[in-house]
A and B are shown apart, each in its own frame.
Chain A
Amino acid sequence: MNTLKEAKTLIQENIRDYGMYIALFVIILTFTFMTDGLFMSSRNISNLIDSAGYIAVLAVAMTLVIVIRHIDLSVGYAAGFMGAIAAILMTQAGMPVYITIPVILILGIVIGLFSGFLVASIGIPAFVATLAAMLIFRGALLQVTEKTGTIIIQNDTFNAIGNGYIPSLLQFNGLHLLTLLVGLVGIGFYIYIEISNRRNKMKYQFDVVSTSIFVLKLVFISAIIAYITWILAGYNGFSWTIIIMLLVVVIYHFISTKTVLGRHIYAVGSNPEAAHLTGINVKKITYIVFGSMGMMSALSGILFTARLQSATTTAGTLFELDAIAAAYVGGVSAAGGVGKVTGAVIGAIVMASLTNGMNLLGVGISYQYMIRGGVLALAVIFDVLTRMKR
């Protein structure tokens, strides 16, 4: 009985965080029901996550940009442009893939730092500076693909980033063995982190949830990881896109919660004047956040180009808006200082699920845009309302 009561207050207190997961759960359930289980099929889920990947990496970096009260509108075409450059380097310059990828990532950082320069050092509003950059990259993308049109990429290693799967080692009852192992390690890692966190908190007499709730949470999350792993193992296993996406999330989550840099980013977002008077170099933080955004645009461009196995003249169109939407659905606040990178990934998956589910149901594209717009508005309304209560 007590456990129930505790769970209830816990949900009430963290409604903003849990709300997102509940929404995702409801969306999945609805689509699964309406498509007679097709939505939850191995093949579809694998496809869904892959199609969320190149937006998710953008959304993660975009969250930090929004946390420091800025915006980056250039990321979509920047991704498209850098994807095209990657294609050109490999097909026309004959650069090996292992060199191409780092070069493109560094190019992304340079591009991001330039936006950072315009915003932090020149003092142009980020909206305007990145809008200008967006137009420039759109032109640049057309320029580099003008002669050839779509550039087909023949390199299997590169294309595997967007289409390939981790090797299976062994098939086990038709299931993908390495995927199962990775899932198992993931669960173990998750449980270890949670328990050691809880131990630490108890050591300093912090409030912790009761043991039964804690165990419930562990079992619940582990079950979800296990279920997703099992579904994916039933098809081709984890794709490289998923692995890259997970890596990005883990690294960004670590930086934003455990490092001095992360703390400084949130401090700048929370109160820039106070951050300055605290001795934090606000300019430097702005540069770093835009630099990271640029690097993630490059990664997004690589993922998308590899997925299409070609660079097209329209690659990257509206990615920036999808990423911003995912960040807001994931709980970032335009007022600054609030927002988790894990939220952004969930936000990206929510938006991808909507698209995917509606496609399966054959909903017309016109309605799809309206519904996605409605969901974005609802998420932000929900956010504002739950914040006001406090």
Chain B
Amino acid sequence: MSEYILEMNQISKEFTGVKALRNVNFKVEKGEIHCLIGENGAGKSTLMKVLSGVYPYGTYEGDIVFEGNIQKFNKITDSVKTGIAIIYQELALFPDLSVYENIFAGNEVKRGGVIDWNQTVVQAKEMLKKVNLDVNPEMLVKDLGVGKRQLIEIAKALSKDVKLLILDEPTAALNEDDSENLLKLLAELKKQGITCIMISHKLKEVISIADKATILRDGETICTLEGNRGEIKENIIIKNMVGREIDDIYPKRENKTIGGKILELHNWSAYDPQLSRNVVKDVSLHVNQGEIVGISGLMGSGRTELALSIFGNAKGYKLQGDLVWDGKSIVFKHPSEAIEAGIAYVTEDRKGDGLFLGQDIKNNISAANLKSISQNGVINQNEEIKIADGYKNSLSVKAPSLEQIVGNLSGGNQQKVSLGKWLFVGPKLLILDEPTRGIDVGAKFEIYTVMNKLISEGMSIIMISSELGEVLGMSDRIYVMAQGEIKGELSADEATQENIMQLATQ
């Protein structure tokens, strides 16, 4: 019997009424590579935040036992001291500092309170050797690729005598070669006795490297699969990931009439100069008039980037390929041009880039189409109130008045305001990005009903969602994305949770 280095027993965590984790048990043996798998929102990240002390002791229920002792972490530095290091997807490096400064940031090599830079460089070289990275430690981190940065993060963790290394989707942003390198390194570290927890969506990697895999779903532990019992197989993992019951909460749609193609993309690619890589790769798809096209995929699969590239290239990507709108090849240079043409985009992050939180419902609803209710630039405020009131009622936004500040509304009502703002534009194509994230079941149903009504009026909808039930319940056709590419197209009849997940985890 090998011993457990980590036991998380009966962990529960609640966020103002929402149970994110329910009695989760998670045990990791010393020296193994243990993968943590689950859909978006299954609770993986929350569990790791509990473990690393982001959520301090006392804000969750249950015990963390590390090397036989119950741990009470109050902050991240507590968990780092005991030998737990977590490396997030968004790397926490200082781009304008050198490699050696980064490796020892927060853990400086000091003599009498003064940093010994020579010793720092010597030790940094050692750490770089350990992660098989051959770079000059004087180089600035911003001049290195993502793959190398990842290795520097690991070197940084090693410099702190890490016993348990946690990697959150380490290969999500890496290309094939870099991914392979990283996996090799993990196997090597394992030989040196370092235990590793890896969160990953790429099942091939999981299968190739994991000794064990624990699957979470809806904040609960579903099972732990063991490699030496031959359980880590794609079909077994997928079956357990998606076993979620689909409640019959999707309103039925009456008489669909699907028309001609309204939007087509041919070999569409988007290059993000800030990340210096293609976020959308060679996508070809089409949307017909009067249909709901679901775009499924896990977080980071390029869905939002695809939407932004269509919606007037809002993030300034370098685009390639052809966009055909209503039969005409066209280039939108600004969101205003896309809006003018009849495209509306309800963002994923309604608080971050969707709504004007400090302003009232009325101003938010009218914001995208003030032109239609103004003369010579002067707003007809009576008309504005009438229209805003109309959307407030038809979408049943629950608020005492139109003067209510949007920041004070609940998530569901905010989403309805967002929807109202874009319906007022009168679009032909509505792109909904995660339309029901973080809102309650009742409001979800209302939004689905509105979607069906819009479709019956001849609008087209692209619905981006990582909730499989919603994609299956609402879409006429489904595209599945991963790593910026379309991995497959499924009709409503042939799509199942399993085959979507299979495509999404490629």
Q: Which residues of A contact B (CB under 8 A)?
A: 200, 203-204, 206-207, 258-261, 263-264, 266-267, 270-271, 273-281, 337-338
Contacts and interface: CB of A to CB of B under 8 A. Distances in A.
A266 to B, nearest CB: 7
Interface of B: 311-312, 314, 334-336, 338-340, 345, 347, 352-359, 363, 366-368, 370-371, 374, 377-379, 381-382, 385-386, 389, 400-403, 421
Contact of B367 (A200, A258, A259, A263): A263
B379 A274 contact: no
A263 B363 contact: yes
A360 to B, nearest CB: 40
A232 to B, nearest CB: 32
20 contacts: A200-B381, A203-B382, A204-B385, A207-B400, A259-B379, A263-B367, A264-B370, A267-B363, A270-B357, A270-B359, A276-B314, A276-B353, A277-B314, A277-B335, A277-B345, A278-B421, A279-B368, A281-B334, A337-B359, A338-B358
A279 B336 contact: yes
B339 A279 contact: yes
Contacts of B374: 259-260
A259 B339 contact: no
A265 to B, nearest CB: 12
Contacts of A260: 370-371, 374, 377-379
A258 B358 CA distance: 18
Query: Which of B363, B379, B386, B421 counts the most chain A CB atoms within 10 A?
Result: B379
Given A258-B381, A260-B370, A278-B368, A271 B355 contact: yes
Contact of A259 (B378, B382, B421): B378
Contact of A261 (B311, B312, B345, B377): B377
Contacts of A276: 314, 335, 353
A332 to B, nearest CB: 13
Given A264-B370, A266-B363, 9 more contacts: A204-B386, A259-B374, A259-B377, A270-B358, A274-B354, A277-B353, A279-B339, A279-B340, A281-B334
A207 B400 CA distance: 9
Nearest to A207: B401
Contacts of A261: 377
Contacts of A203: 382
Contacts of A266: 356, 359, 363
Contacts of B368: 278-279
A264 B379 CA distance: 12
A323 to B, nearest CB: 24
B367 A267 contact: yes
Query: Which of B312, B314, B353 counts the most chain A CB atoms within 10 A?
Result: B353
Contacts, number: 90
Query: Which of B311, B358, B377 counts the most chain A CB atoms within 10 A?
Result: B358
Nearest to B373: A260
Given A260-B370, A270-B356, A274-B355, A281 B336 contact: yes
Contacts of A206: 385, 401-403
Query: Which of A258, A260, A264, A276 counts the most chain B CB atoms within 10 A?
Result: A260
A280 B353 CA distance: 13
B313 to A, nearest CB: 11
A266 B371 CA distance: 16
Nearest to A262: B379
A263 B379 CA distance: 9
B335 A279 contact: yes
A204 B378 contact: no
Contacts of B421: 278
Contacts of A207: 400-401, 403
Given A204-B389, A277-B314, A258 B353 contact: no
A279 B368 CA distance: 7
A273 B347 CA distance: 11
A337 B356 contact: yes
A273 B382 contact: no
Query: Which of B339, B347, B366, B367 counts the most chain A CB atoms within 10 A?
Result: B367
Given A263-B370, A277-B311, A279-B368, A271 B353 contact: yes
Contacts of A273: 352-353
Contacts of A264: 370
Nearest to A336: B358
Contacts of B385: 200, 204, 206
A101 to B, nearest CB: 25
A265 B330 CA distance: 30
Nearest to B353: A273
Nearest to B425: A279
Contact of A271 (B334, B357, B378): B357
Contacts of B336: 279-281
A278 B367 contact: yes
Chain A to chain B: the 6 pairs with minimum beta-carbon distance, closest first: A279-B336, A273-B353, A270-B356, A279-B339, A260-B370, A278-B368
Contacts of A338: 358
B354 A277 contact: yes
A63 to B, nearest CB: 16
Contacts of B311: 277
Contact of B347 (A259, A267, A277): A277
Contacts of A267: 356, 359, 363, 367
B382 A200 contact: yes
A1 B403 CA distance: 27
B427 to A, nearest CB: 12
Contacts of B402: 204, 206
B430 to A, nearest CB: 14
A337 B377 contact: no
Query: Which of A267, A271, A278 counts the most chain B CB atoms within 10 A?
Result: A278
A277 B334 CA distance: 9
Contact of B378 (A200, A258, A274, A277): A258
Contacts of B378: 258-260
